[in-house]
Amino acid sequence: MILSICIPTYNRHEHLSNCLNSIVISSQNKKIDFEVCISDNCSDENTEELIKPFEEKIKIKFNRNNKNIGTMANMFKVVSMAEGEFSWIIGNDDLLLPNTLEKLDNLIRENSDVDFFFINSFNLDFNYLKKFSRPFNTMNLPLEMDKVSKKEKSQKLNFWNLIDPEISYDFLLGMFLAVFRRQKWVDNLKFVDNELIKGEYFFNFDNTCSHIKVFANAFNNSKAYFQAEPLSVNLYGVREWGSIYEFVEIVRIPELLDYYRSRGLNLNKFIYCKNYALRNFVPYLAKILLRKKSGLEYIKFSKHILKNLFYPNVYLSFFYFIFRKLNFVKINTNEKIKNEN
């Protein structure tokens, strides 16, 4: 079996049905040897009943946890169910394109020396789907959508070359962009602390970035491939953790880069990426200080603030913020004048 599509899920049945339907549609364009693994994190809804109609069309393995074990722990659980040569972890609100499985099958077969594929994705407001009946038919996707990565050219490269803001602004934190050789993942699970990954998502490094620990150790000497053409759609406006996004960007992502450095990321690239990651530091820190449930209690002054004062973007971030605000006002004013005329 070449591929296991792994879906950790909790509630949000509307989105899961759309996701599964997109996989069914994509599988009809080419018969590829794949499976779908679903691990339900003790949802309030009956997930097993929801997936039954899809089991008639695609191979599905299903697990339901007896209790909610945490988002990151459930992600590791669903990959443990997989048997494919490659695994792809996607959210229950992600969509495959109609040609995704055909293109992914060809991509893997044509690059047999590659262990890690970065698969670009489209961004789409989930409200767009409300115009259509459920489950959503991906033949109705808009013709034009923004891309996660703006880099235009696909290429084979070394794994560390993927750690580049032109490719991944969150430096692989978004696991839905990674298709990876499963056995290498399995061989490096020893770097995961099974106690720290439990509990509320994002509020320690391990239950935010443990998959990064596996990636960095499993693939640091591997050939990788950047797939510029998007093969999935990720929906914004769905995620429950939007209120702590600022915390993730200026605390967890810089920590993630520190871990990459400890596993072999080039010093010059590390400094460049770390400075980029802090481009919103001052305005985001202000939001964290002013907002409830923003992650403030998990910030350590010496580690997350003092240590980062070396980087120019910490100081420039305030001016970037002002520039964006002025530019926003200018654009809105021009639009208003245009509409009045």
Is residue 172 within 8 Å of residue 160, measured between CB atoms?
no
Torsion of CA 313, 316, 319, 323, to 10 degrees: -50
The pLDDT value given to residue 32: 83
Residue 255 in 3-state DSSP?
helix
Using CA of residue 20, residue 49, residue 237, residue 215, what is the dihedral sign?
negative
Cα–Cα nearest to 119, from 89, 143, 98, 142 = 89
| Residues 63 and 162 grouped into a single domain | yes
* Residue 80 structure tokens: 């443990």
In a domain, residue 259? The reply is no
Question: Does the model's pTM come out above 0.85?
Answer: yes
Question: Are residues 217 and 333 located together in one domain of the fold?
Answer: no
Please indicate, yes or no, whether residues 134 and 212 belong to a single structural domain of this protein. Answer: yes
CA distance 181 to 82: 11
15 closest CA partner among 246, 276, 325, 239: 239
- If asked whether residues 303 and 154 sit together in one domain, one would say no
Tell me whether residue 272 is in a domain: yes
- The pLDDT of residue 327: 66
Whether residues 186 and 275 fall in one domain: no
- Bridge partners (DSSP) listed for residue 3: 34, 86
For Cα atoms 87, 159, 248, give the angle at the middle one, nearest 5 degrees: 75
Q: Which of the listed residues 179, 205, 240 is the one where a domain comes to its end?
A: 240
Whether residues 91 and 171 fall in one domain: yes
Tell whether 200 and 332 lie within a shared domain: no
Q: Are 193 and 316 found together in one domain?
A: no
The β-bridge relationship of strands 155-158 and 223-236 is antiparallel
Q: Beta-strand (E) ranges in 85-206?
A: 86-89, 95-96, 114-125, 146-147, 155-158, 178-181
Contact at 8 Å (CB) between 119 and 179? yes
Strand partners for 124: 235
Span between the terminal Cα atoms of the chain, in Å: 61
* Residue 255 falls inside a structural domain: no
**CA–CA separation, 35 vs 235, rounded Å?**
23
What CATH number does residue 53 fall under?
3.90.550.10
Dist CA 13 CA 47 (whole Å)? 7
How does pLDDT run across 98-147, given as a tens digit for each residue? 999 999 999 999 999 999 999 999 999 999 999 999 999 999 999 999 99
Domain count of the chain? 2
What's the pLDDT tens digit per position in 220-259?
999 999 999 999 999 987 666 667 889 999 999 999 999 9
Residue 38 pairs with which residues in a beta bridge? 7, 62
What is the spatial distance between Cα 51 and Cα 33, in angstroms, rounded to a whole number? 19
Alpha carbon separation from 17 to 14, 82, 234, 238 (Å, rounded):
6, 20, 15, 15
- How far apart (Å, rounded) are the C-alpha atoms in residues 290 and 296? 9
Q: Comparing C-alpha atoms, which of 221, 225, 219 is closest to residue 167?
A: 225
Residues 226 and 314 placed together within one structural domain of the fold: no
The answer to whether position 261 is within a domain reads no
All residue ranges of the chain with pLDDT < 70 are: 238-242, 327-341
Q: In this structure, is residue 251 part of a structural domain? A: no
Position 160 scores a pLDDT of 98
Domain of 309 in residue numbering reads as: 267-340
User: Which residue among 194, 224, 240 closes a domain?
Assistant: 240
14 and 66, same domain (yes or no):
yes
Of 173, 205, 240, the residue that ends a domain is 240
Please check whether residues 142 and 66 belong to one and the same domain: yes
Supply the pLDDT for residue 31.
74
Residue 245 located in a structural domain: no
Residue 226 shares a structural domain with residue 323: no
258 located within any domain: no
Residue 294 lies in a domain: yes
